[in-house]
Amino acid sequence: MSKITTFYKGNMLFESKFGSHSVQIDVPELMGGKNRGPKPSDLFMAALGSCIGAAVVDHCQRFHFDMSDMSVNVKMDEVKHPTRWANLQVTIHIPHSDCRGQEDAILRLTENCPIYKSITKLNGIQIELMDKKHVEVLKWFG
């Protein structure tokens, strides 16, 4: 199982570490953020866009498409009560290639992106709280 650990750095700033990489994440200004990094929601949508983009580029390069200036736009509406996204729209721009004959294959590839699959097939998330009491119990057993 892969693991990403997010640390609270103080003053509503977080740092997520995965492998040898890390990224700072700031919360929205309404929660005390100060624009020191992307918001969690922006990072999530950027991950979706780059995951789809990587699958598309990998496929298109096999057909020698010109992928320069390729981009993926992810648009969404923020809905309140409960706060969430709705109406996600992904637009893939391949401005320097004629994709004729590959359109269906390219669009099917987007569905193979693990983030896309997770969003569309999510069966819930298991959340566990480990507070001081639980850490002390684990130390006793260790």
The answer to whether position 135 is within a domain reads no
Reported as type and span, the H/E element at residue 59 is helix 40-62
Alpha-carbon dihedral sign for residues 117, 120, 56, 78: negative
What range does the domain containing 68 cover?
5-126
The answer to whether position 139 is within a domain reads no
The answer to whether position 110 is within a domain reads yes
The answer to whether position 132 is within a domain reads no
The answer to whether position 16 is within a domain reads yes
CA distance 15 to 13: 7
Instruction: Say which residue the tokens 């648009």 belong to.
Output: 75
The total of structural domains in the chain comes to 1
Residue 122, SS3?
Answer: coil
The answer to whether position 9 is within a domain reads yes
The answer to whether position 141 is within a domain reads no
CA distance 24 to 33: 12
Encode pLDDT of 83-94 as tens digits: 888 899 999 999
Residue 71: give its domain's CATH number: 3.30.300.20
Encode pLDDT of 13-60 as tens digits: 999 999 999 999 999 998 999 999 999 989 999 999 999 999 999 999
Encode pLDDT of 73-131 as tens digits: 999 998 988 888 889 999 999 999 999 999 999 999 888 889 998 888 888 888 888 88
